[in-house]
Amino acid sequence: MAEGIDSFPASITPLSWLPDALTLSRLPMAVAVWFVVPWPWALMALMGLAALTDVLDGWAARSLGVMGGRGAWLDPVCDKAFVVSLLAALMLQLAAPWWVFILIGAREIVQLPLMLAYRLVRVLRPRLRFNFRAGLPGKAATVAQFAAVAAVLLERAVVVMAVGACMLGCLAVFYYLRRAALLARADEEGAAG
C-alpha cells in the first residue's frame, strides 16, 4: 500500500510531534519568567504550567510510543533552561540573598560541568553511559526547587526549603552518575560475555 498524506509509517503517529512541542514550550516560558517576576502569583502559575508540560510531554511520549530519540535529550535541556532563567531572574530582581539561589540551583551548578566533562573528556566515555531519562530523584529535586522558589516568593521558610532543594539536587546528580556508571559496566560485561 502506498503511503499518502492520510497514512503514516507504523513508527510515526499523527501526533508524534506533540511531546517535543510540549517540551519546547518551556523555552518561551523561560523568557516569560523575566516579565512576570514582579507578580509572585503569576510567576507561580507559570512554574505550575512549566511543571505540567514536563509531566505531559513524558505522558504523551509514552502514550504515542515515541520514547527516546530527540526528546530524551531535549527534555532535560529545556528543563535546565527554564530553571536557570527562573533563578537568574529572581536573583537579579528580588532582595533574597544570592546564596539562596545557589542552594536552589545546586543541581544545575554541579551537573552542568559534569555533563560538559563527559562530552569533552574522551577517557570518561567508556566509564559512563548517560541515560537522560528522568528518575525519581531528579523529579523530586525539581519539585523541591519549585517549592523553594515559592518559599522565596512568599518569604516563608526560605533557608529550609533552599537547603532541601540543594540536598535533593545533589542526591539526583549522584543518582544519575551512579546510573551512568552501572549502565557502562553492564555494557562492558555484555560485550565481554
The last residue of one of the domains, among 51, 66, 94, is 94
pLDDT tens sequence across 64-95: 777 666 666 778 788 888 988 999 998 888 87
Q: Which of 34, 61, 94 is where one domain is finished?
A: 94
Among 94, 109, 133, give the residue marking a domain's end.
94
Say whether both 145 and 181 belong to one domain. yes
Note the pLDDT tens digit of each residue in 122-145: 776 666 666 666 778 888 898 899
Q: Are residues 104 and 191 in the same domain?
A: yes
Q: State the pLDDT confidence band at 147, using cuts at 50, 70 and 90.
A: very high
Amino acid at 159: V
Burial letters for 68-95: b for 16+ Cβ neighbours within 10 Å, e otherwise? eeebeebbbebbbebbbbbbebbbeebe
Q: How confident is the model at residue 170 (pLDDT cuts 50, 70, 90)?
A: very high
The answer, as to whether pTM is greater than 0.85, is: no
Determine the structural domain holding residue 59 and report its residue range.
17-94
The CA distance from 126 to 2, in Å, is: 44
Are 88 and 120 found together in one domain? no
Average pLDDT over residues 108-116: 81
Q: Is residue 191 a part of any domain in this protein?
A: yes
Number of independent structural domains in the chain:
2
Q: Does residue 10 form part of some domain? A: no
Does residue 27 belong to any structural domain of this protein?
Answer: yes
Render pLDDT for 4-45 as a digit per residue (tens, 0 to 9).
444 444 455 566 788 889 889 999 999 999 999 999 899 999
Q: Indicate the SS3 state at residue 134.
A: coil
Same domain, 163 and 121: yes
Same structural domain for residues 181 and 106?
yes
**CA-based nearest residue to 56, from 15, 92, 84, 89:** 15
What's the gap between Cα 148 and its chain centre?
A: 16
Where residue 115 falls among pLDDT bands split at 50, 70, 90? confident
Q: What's the pLDDT score for residue 159?
A: 92
Output the pLDDT for position 6. Answer: 45
* Within-domain flag for 1: no
